[in-house]
Amino acid sequence: MSPRHRARRRRHRPLRTGLFTLVAAVAAAVALTLGTGGGQLVARPSATAPAVGTGSPSATAAALPGASTRAARTVGQAVADAGADAEGAVAVSVLDLGSGVTAGSELPGPDATGAAGSAPAADAEGDATGGHAFITASIVKADILAALLRQSGTALGAAQRAQAEAMIEQSDNDAAGELYEAIGGADGLDEANRAFGLTGTTAGRDGYWGLTTTTTEDQLRLLRVIFTDDSPLDADDRAYLQDLMGLIAQDQAWGVSAAAGPDGTAKLKNGWLSRSADGLWAVNSIGLVTRDGHDLLVAVLSDGNSTEESGIGLVESVAVAAVEALVGGGTD
């Protein structure tokens, strides 16, 4: 870690990789207004709710830039199998940093008018960008810190370092609120995301950072900003953010870490949000996974899950399926 950013270190603990049983559920879609509850974000319904989702669960493999047709097909089939019992929408994008191969897949959810997803993706000006937008919940905290580091231009002060550590390692909401305000709120995050190249992400307004909407493609781009030289962040700032994402609290170390297998490693940020109107969960995970000599950026977004546990199980199973397919059969 660079001397510019001195985060406290803890011994990295084993990552939890267990999968959970999925239970089918259908509920009405809701628009959201964010509140906080303990260690999670709790959403409340607004007066209006757009219709979302079309069709039955089916994988649509997307060959993102640099992906081979075989990679897209292999990942798409693997994700379709892993998410066959998904209660809502789920999407994944994966990039192998060594080969440059990237692929993605999306399952729209079982009910054309249910809570399988959210509104179509749009940029900060409200123009449609294509794809499917998901609520970020706490994965946006990595984006907030990236925006803060880009703005600062120098090492963070002691107070902001402490807030950054709490926000990333413990997913502390109060720290996130303070740092969101420090970057200029929604306008500041949108401006940073334009610099980062995120075209389908819109920051949550009025301080509700957890209601930022995004796509897996944009989250893959954010991970490139954090973990590669293709970034407006300098090497010291990237190393600092990477270090914090490697120190996630043990009870939050689920998600894309499952794709690392027993001998791999992961640096990640997760997000989870419960809708108070219907009890359904958005569960997301993004990060760098090292497996079998491959360094992979992985983003999995989901919502419409009946419980936090079922959402975690879905995210983990989809992450494992996509990574195993890309590493094992899609890179030729």
CA distances in angstroms from 190 to 40, 144, 222, listed in the order given: 23, 10, 13
The residues, ordered by sequence, that sit 6+ positions from 291 with a Cβ below 8 Å of its Cβ are 259, 260, 261, 263, 264, 323, 327
pLDDT digits (tens, 9 = 90+) for 136-150: 999 999 999 999 999
d(CA 284, CA 280): 13
The residues, ordered by sequence, that sit 6+ positions from 48 with a Cβ below 8 Å of its Cβ are 31
pLDDT digits (tens, 9 = 90+) for 231-241: 999 999 999 99
Domains defined along the chain, listed by start? 55-329 (3.40.710.10)
Give percent of the chain above pLDDT 70.
72
Look over the chain and give the mean of its residue pLDDT values, rounded to a whole number: 79
pLDDT digits (tens, 9 = 90+) for 200-223: 999 999 999 999 999 999 999 999
d(CA 113, CA 111): 5
Write out the DSSP string of 10-25.
Answer: -PPPPPP---------
**Phi, psi of 114, deg, nearest 5:** -90, -170
